[in-house]
Amino acid sequence: MTDLFYLSAAEALRLFRARELSPLELMRAVVERAERTEPAVNAFVETMTEHALRAAAAAERRYRPGGDPRPLEGLPVAAKENLPIAGRPLTDGTLLAPSRRAGETAIVLTRIEAAGGILHARTTTSEFCCMPMSHTRRWGVTRNPWNFSAAVGGSSGGSAASLAAGTSMLATGTDIGGSLRAPASFAGVVAFKPPHGRNPILPPEGLDPYQHHGPMARTVGDCMLLQSVMAGEDPRDPASGLPVADLRARGGVHGLRVAFCATPGDFPVDSEVRDATRAAAESLRAAGAVIEEIDIPWRLDEVNRALWAHFGNELATRVLELDRRQPGVVSPYTLAFARKGVDAAHRVDSATGQVLAASIGARLDAIFGRFDALVLPTVGATAFAAGEDYTDTRLTVNGMELDHFADASLTPVFNIHSTHPVVAVPSGWASNGVPTGVQVAAAPYDDGTAFRVALAIEAALGTGFTGDRRPAPAPGSSPA
């Protein structure tokens, strides 16, 4: 049998129902795995082991005759630290300000617990969730379980690393520019950026159309399972009045019209990432989809200007003021973000940003006027270096030295146009041992099609956890 901590959620639920595995046995296996891997991976900022073991024992009773197990009953779930849990600290991953106690729990976490999921740990992020990395002066460096010299990305990097390391079965993250999808790509796991409003978010955060709370898992099916629990209207989020998408009718991809683009516009993409993207597209062709390679005339500068028109706001100003009061405390990449944000606010006003966003969106509309889905790389680079701030060092991708390492991410377009559902799914492996990934985007609010295509890619290419391939539990050790 697969190691208990690498079971899929679907398989664990089957074993629970058959009474061939108990939730308490699974939780103990996950906790023991974390004790072995956490010193090297550093995915957790807080563990809730005693609570988790009590909840697992209660879940075990629900699987006895006459019990009433819920959809996620007994499954270990890791929560990104910036998702509040009432009474527990929120830190923003920073030493610049004291932690504060959350007054209420994030809506999606409340729903996970109501469905029987067990929140057993909270995961690392970047400082203020402002960059696609997961190291901070507060928590240290979160490393990629597949290659400990590589970063796992971010800002939901701890959740992705935990899934890859086998220290959670399901996980949650947030995404305001790719923070679910980028770490999923580097960790070889699956993430879903839902359309804005699909998964409700507490105010005032939920008022930002770039913001999304979403699920992460090791398989597409498990990601769908968690998403089905997280979605649905809540009166505290005025954007959440969308009908819940029906993800049960999976179907195949025969006859679907799928576009792919291995190198959108002038975005830099490594040759290994391009090859993996083509392999994903060809796997869909073999499954009966109608595949066409297209050019997408996106320009990196145009996308960046639209982004900074949005991000050059109060967070950047706040960080600079905190740094003025406490110099040398903030992470270098955070300070660089803040300076760039304030500078951009003087150069790109919101009206210009809206014009740029409309132009980018018009090209997406043209694609989805002809196609049911679009496949493209998630991140153009094969890795970021663990612990590297990229303030003095430049990242080079495909021979191109980037102005900023975040320019390697191809995710922000779908935050600028946040109604598109996007599934990030593994596409293969780079020669450095780090997974690669693709994004599967569908027309606005068409979650089902995005998941259908992602399922087909996974069926053809497998997952990072298929067969005997596993991350090592610690640097220099043999695979688990």
The DSSP secondary structure of 304-343, one letter per residue, reads HHHHHHHHSSHHHHHHHHHHHHSTT-S-HHHHHHHHHHHH
Q: So what's the pLDDT on residue 248? A: 66
Active site residues per annotation: 80, 155, 179
How far apart are alpha carbons 157 and 132 in whole angstroms? 8
How far apart are alpha carbons 132 and 142 in whole angstroms? 12
Backbone angles phi, psi at 257, to 5 degrees: -95, 115
Say if CB 164 and CB 152 are below 8 A apart.
yes
Residue range 277-288: mean pLDDT, rounded = 98
| Residue matched to tokens 């569908």 | 442
Residue range 128-153: mean pLDDT, rounded = 95
Q: So what's the pLDDT on residue 469? A: 79
Confidence band for 307, pLDDT divided at 50, 70 and 90: confident
Could you report the per-residue pLDDT of 437-460, keeping only the tens digit for each?
A: 999 999 999 999 999 999 999 999
Could you report the per-residue pLDDT of 338-358, keeping only the tens digit for each?
A: 888 888 777 777 788 889 999
Pick the range with the lowest mean pLDDT from 40-44, 94-98, 347-351, 355-359: 347-351
Is pLDDT above 70 for 1?
Answer: no
Is pLDDT above 60 for 152?
Answer: yes
Q: Any idea what the Cα angle at residue 74 is, between residues 71 and 77, rounded to 5°? A: 90
Could you report the per-residue pLDDT of 215-225, keeping only the tens digit for each?
A: 999 999 999 99
| Residue matched to tokens 């629990």 | 229
How far apart are alpha carbons 23 and 53 in whole angstroms? 9
Residue 366 forms beta bridges with which residues? none
Q: What is the mean pLDDT of the chain?
A: 94
Confidence band for 250, pLDDT divided at 50, 70 and 90: low
Q: Under 8 Å CB-to-CB from 305, ≥6 apart: which residues?
A: 344, 348, 352, 353, 356
Q: How many CA atoms lie within 13 A of 361 on its CB side?
A: 14
How far apart are alpha carbons 183 and 193 in whole angstroms? 12
Homologous superfamily of 4-300+351-461 in CATH? Amidase signature (AS) domain (3.90.1300.10)
User: Among 138, 160, 164, 154, which residue's Cα sits nearest to residue 37?
Assistant: 164
How far apart are alpha carbons 285 and 108 in whole angstroms? 36
Q: Under 8 Å CB-to-CB from 142, ≥6 apart: which residues?
A: 41, 42, 43, 124, 134, 135, 151, 152, 154, 157, 158, 161, 386
